[in-house]
Each structure stands twice: as C-alpha cells, then as structure tokens.
C-alpha cells in the first residue's frame, strides 16, 4: 500500500441484499490495497443494510476504508451524487451493486492512469455473465475501435462505446476541474451519461484490452428486464433527457456545439423509439418518433425505413427475411 494513490469506489444500491455479496467479496479480493469504498444505501427496504454491516469487520481487517451512507430513496443519480460529495481518492470508479470486479480491476486501471498523465479516464472490458450460473455469454468492449479514441465523445452520443459503469476509472483532479461542485443531473434512470460525457469532451481517454468487470444479466434488473411498454418508454425518454441535461452542463469551446450534439442525442432517441416500436408492434410510438424527428428536421431515409417497418407489417416481414438472408 505504501505510496499507492488512493482509489475510491462509489456504489449506489437499492434492495440489493441478495446480490451485493459478489461485489463486496470482489473488492476485498483486489490486488490494489489503497482503496476507499463508499456504499450509498438508497432507501433499501430489504436486508441490504444488514448484509453491508456483516462485512464491516472484513473490510477493517483488509485495511480498506469502508463507509455506508444511508439516504431516502432518490434514485441512482442522486445516490452517486451523494457519494461524489464524500469521496477522497486520487482516482474514482463506480461499479453497480449487482455486478462485481475482476481481481486486478483497480490495479491495472490505476497503474494505467499513473503511467499516462495525459489521460483523464481509462476504460476496460467487461465479461457478460448470466445469472444464476454465471456462465460467460459475451464481452463488452472487445469491438472498441482503439484508433478512433479521440472521437470517443461523439461515439458515446451515438451509443458506439462501452457504457458499462464498472469499466471506467477517472482521474479525480481532472474531474474536479470541470465539476468542482461534485454535482450531476439527478436522474433515477442512470448516472453514466452524467459521469462520462464531460470527461470525454474535455480529456483524452485510454483503453485497456482486458476484462476488469463482470456485468451480470438478471431476469429482473431495472436496466435489463423485459419492461412493460410504459416503463420502456419512460426509460427511452430518460435516455433523451439525461444526455441533453448533461450537455447543458458542459463548458463547450464553441457555444454552437450544444445544439450540434443535442441533435445527435435527439436523433439516437428517435431511432431507439422506432426500433422499439418496430420490435413490439407499437404504431403509436412510431408516430411519436416520426412527429419529433420531422419537427427537428432529422427524419432521414434511415429513419423513414424504420418507420415503415414499424407501421407496415408486410414491409416489416420482407425486411426480416432480407436481414436473415444476410446472416
């Protein structure tokens, strides 16, 4: 631990008593010793608090600073913000309560940032595992275009990036230069846009081509379940609102960039809404998307094809046959 920079881990959690043990065990197993772990209990009504307390002695014995902050339920965005107000580390990461870290996750990223002071953030890969057997079913980040790293801000707006929260580590000094108040847009639907977009805009980003995180596929997780149409629409709308609100907080070099990047966010939202309308045969959602995209001047040929698929069953069937023939 001697001379190691302090790495802070902030984890928000709500009713995660049945699953958080994996994360806790993985933090205790880290090969990097100088760690501060802050768990923000976001108003849990299950046994989350008891499970956390049962690990306190283990953390004390390991030398890892362990702090539990309990608040009323306000959602993941505000829970992360609570942790941001409290952390002290030279570097920061924010894994989810229902996932877990690889043993070298802290070490390889902290060492990378130590060796590359020109980078403000570094991203590793994630193993995708299925619950309950934890069988590996994929890798997140194995198709990242390392050569286009300087374009990572726009890539993120186009969803062409690794958003999995536990894959990232940021340099605190750089983060505080652009966010001295330690405040983010407090959405219930997520925290990654708020944490990542400002860092991507202002700083270079490094990549580590190895898994640092395990992303678990649960049948009933908020971000992974088969949602009702209404809940899915609310989630899609959050994916419009969160990046838009985050863009408003970025000090752009050119004021016109706010409109430019806002249009990208709106376009991707419209595309997502049309894809959802197509896949679940929801014509009313397709019409909503068409109206918005037309009003914004974004209803291009790509979106027109999606709209036709979502509203014309014969055309949709022909397109499914065409895609299947192309493999």
Buried b / exposed e over 52-67, threshold 16 CB at 10 Å, is beebeeebeebebbbe
**Is 159:152 a contact under the CB 8 Å cutoff?**
no
> For residue 231, is pLDDT > 80?
no
178: Cβ contacts below 8 Å, ≥ 6 apart: 198, 199, 202, 250, 251
Q: Which of 243, 52, 264 is nearest to 163 (CA)?
A: 243
What confidence tens digit (pLDDT) does each residue in 53-91 have?
A: 999 999 999 999 999 999 999 999 999 999 999 999 999
pLDDT at residue 289 greater than cutoff 70: yes
Which of residues 291 and 281 earns the better pLDDT score? 291
Q: What percent of the chain has pLDDT over 70?
A: 94
pTM for the model: 0.92
Tokens of 103: 């043993």
Q: Mean pLDDT across the stretch 255-262?
A: 96
225, pLDDT greater than 50: no
What's the full length of the chain, in residues? 327
């Amino acid at each position: 631990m001697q001379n190691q920079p302090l790495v802070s881990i902030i984890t928000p959690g709500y009713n995660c008593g049945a699953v958080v043990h994996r994360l806790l065990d993985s933090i205790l197993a880290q090969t990097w010793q100088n760690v501060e772990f802050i768990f923000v209990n976001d108003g849990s009504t299950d046994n989350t608090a008891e499970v956390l307390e049962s690990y306190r002695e283990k953390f004390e014995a390991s030398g890892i600073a362990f702090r539990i902050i309990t608040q009323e339920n306000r959602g993941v965005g505000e829970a992360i913000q609570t942790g941001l107000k409290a952390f002290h580390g030279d570097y920061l990461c924010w894994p989810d309560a229902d996932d877990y870290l690889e043993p070298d996750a802290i070490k390889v990223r902290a060492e990378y940032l130590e060796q590359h002071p020109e980078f403000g953030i570094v991203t590793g890969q994630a193993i995708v595992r299925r619950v309950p057997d934890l069988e590996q079913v994929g890798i997140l980040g194995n198709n990242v275009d390392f050569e286009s790293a300087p374009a990572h801000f726009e890539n993120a707006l186009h969803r062409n990036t690794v958003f999995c929260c536990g894959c990232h580590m940021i340099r605190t000094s750089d983060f505080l230069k652009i966010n001295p108040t330690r405040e983010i847009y407090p959405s219930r639907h997520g925290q990654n846009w708020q944490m990542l977009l400002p860092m991507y805009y202002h700083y270079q980003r490094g990549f580590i081509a190895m898994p640092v995180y395990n992303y678990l596929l649960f049948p009933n997780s908020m971000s992974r379940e088969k949602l009702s149409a209404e809940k899915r629409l609310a989630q899609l709308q959050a994916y419009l609102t969160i990046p838009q609100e985050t863009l408003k907080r970025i000090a752009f070099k050119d004021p016109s960039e706010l409109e430019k990047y806002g249009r990208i966010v709106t376009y991707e939202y419209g595309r997502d809404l049309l894809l959802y309308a197509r896949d679940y045969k929801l014509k009313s959602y397709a019409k909503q998307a068409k109206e918005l995209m037309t009003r914004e001047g974004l209803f291009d040929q790509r979106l027109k094809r999606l709209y036709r698929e979502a509203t014309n069953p014969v055309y949709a069937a022909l397109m499914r046959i065409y895609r299947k023939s192309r493999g």
